Amino acid sequence: MADAPSEDSRGEDRSRFRGDPTIVRSTHGIEAVRQVTCVSNDIAVHALEVDVLPGPAWAQVASESHARLSIVLDAIGGGRIESRLKRDQAPADGPFTMNFAPPGAEVWGYSEGIRRVRDIRLDFDLARVAGGHRRETHDAGASSLSQRASAVSRQVSGRRVREA
């Protein structure tokens, strides 16, 4: 199966972040990939449903251009599913069904005995996310994330005291 690109039927402005349109690469044992993609706050959210052929199956699941968080939501079939750093090597600490990969990392989704997988993938443009974080903390008058978190914590604690 070739790389599976997403479709942008809305004709949105090309300068907007849409994430990596190629969801899986270097596949084996993958019959079909269906996806719905939406973007909010410069994070592309890809909801996927993957049909898997009998036997071992794998696909490169990281993005070449963006940081990606992948989470398996459901696996149908009596087998196993896991994330791997090397396609042919199971993780030493047991199977993982969630992974975070920086741009260009090698991360594999592997399954055996699974018929269908539903997962969600979030693509982040690290420069945009970091820039947005800096603007947000600067606008709030906080010089660091920990100061902002402390301020929010004090606000929440104060509300709890007043409500109680």
Distant-in-sequence, close-in-space partners of 11: CB < 8 Å, separation ≥ 6: none
Quote the CA–CA distance of 133 and 143 in Å, as a whole number.
Answer: 11
Quote the CA–CA distance of 15 and 51 in Å, as a whole number.
Answer: 33
pLDDT of 136 > 70? The answer is no
Quote the CA–CA distance of 156 and 78 in Å, as a whole number.
Answer: 45
Angle (CA) 50-56-57 rounded to 5° is 35
- Which residue, 89, 109, 90, is CA-closest to 99? 109
- Topology at the third CATH level for domain 25-124: Jelly Rolls (2.60.120)
Quote the CA–CA distance of 20 and 125 in Å, as a whole number.
Answer: 10
The pTM for the full model equals 0.68
pLDDT digit string, tens, across residues 57-79: 999 999 988 999 999 999 999 89
Backbone conformation region of residue 134, classed left if phi is above 0, alpha if psi is from -120 to 50, else beta: alpha
Confidence bin at 100 (pLDDT 50/70/90): very high
Confidence bin at 99 (pLDDT 50/70/90): very high
pLDDT of 24 > 70? The answer is yes
Quote the CA–CA distance of 142 and 34 in Å, as a whole number.
Answer: 43
Of residues 56 and 42, the one with the higher pLDDT is 56
pLDDT of 56 > 80? The answer is yes
Of residues 132 and 77, the one with the higher pLDDT is 77
